[in-house]
Amino acid sequence: MERSKAAIQGGLERRRSQSHLSRDGTLKKSNSCSTIYVDDSTVSQPNLKSTIKCVTLAIYYHVKNRTSSRVIDIFDERTHPLTRDPVPADYERHNPEHRHIYKFVRTLFSAAQLTAECAIITLVYLERLLTYAELDLTPVTWRRVVLGAILLASKVWDDQAVWNVDYCQILRDITVEDMNELERHFLEFLQFNINIPSSVYAKYYFDLRTLAEANELNFPCEPLTKEKATKLEAMSRMCEDKITSDGLQIGLKRSNSMDNVNVSRRSIAILS
């Protein structure tokens, strides 16, 4: 996400200056005695819509902030079009807008029922391809590069992978043979390095959240329901029990919390 760093820095500085200059701040959901708002997106279960917005924003900055226009034939829409419509002669001169990239990715994810985690994996593979193949995202290559990354990410990450022929039902003008060739070349350019450590996944997640903050794409806060509160409590108790168990195994003495301290109270004798 190197191409997004300048935008992140500029966006954060702009938000700081706006917060100092603006008198009437924007309305923000705040906790009250009756309602608690929590961020519904976590590193293990990201919010789908917000994650796709962030991923497509990173792709947008790759296209916008490129310093060269290195193209590989298999990813070039002029020789491998995704639609039957002819590619305009000046197609490569006009950078796509963020909303166009978001619409393309969102359509694929909705039709194939892909998860938010798959979107993050897609960005990891995309940026890995740009490095390994010495390729740039341009107006004529971004669609096929993104499509190849989604093809690979959905098969590696999701238990029930979507077949290439299923994508042909979404993009009706592309053939299965073209999809297979795109996937094969993508893997070869990656040198079949599809492993993603948990540390890399977590780094991308938090980098995307920083990018969202810089561009005012806030992750939604949802009211804490009784079911969610019960689940959080159960999860916290499980973690507490595990820490206690691990501590006892290595001979550490756990200090009692105030909830577990039993104080014997003595009744006050009244002498008459």
Question: What's the pLDDT band for 253 if we cut at 50, 70, 90?
Answer: low
pLDDT in tens, 67-100: 999 999 999 999 999 988 888 888 888 899 999 9
Q: What is the rounded distance in angstroms from the CA atom of residue 270 to the CA atom of residue 272?
A: 6
If you count DSSP H runs as helices and E runs as strands, how many of each does the chain have, helices first? 9, 2
Count of CB atoms situated within 10 Å of the CB of 39: 13
Q: Quick one: pLDDT at residue 21?
A: 39
Length of the chain: 272
Report the Cα–Cα distance between both ends of the chain, in Å, rounded: 80
Q: Quick one: pLDDT at residue 116?
A: 92
With tokens 């995202």, the residue in question is 137
Average pLDDT for residues 170-198, to the nearest whole number?
Answer: 94
Q: Which residues of 235-251 are buried (b: 16+ CB within 10 A; e: fewer)?
A: eeeeeeeeeeeeeeeee
Question: What's the pLDDT band for 233 if we cut at 50, 70, 90?
Answer: confident
For the whole model, what pTM was predicted?
A: 0.72
Asked if residue 85 lies in contact with residue 79, where contact means CB atoms within 8 angstroms, the answer is: no
Q: Read off the tokens for 52.
A: 């796709």
Q: Quick one: pLDDT at residue 217?
A: 75
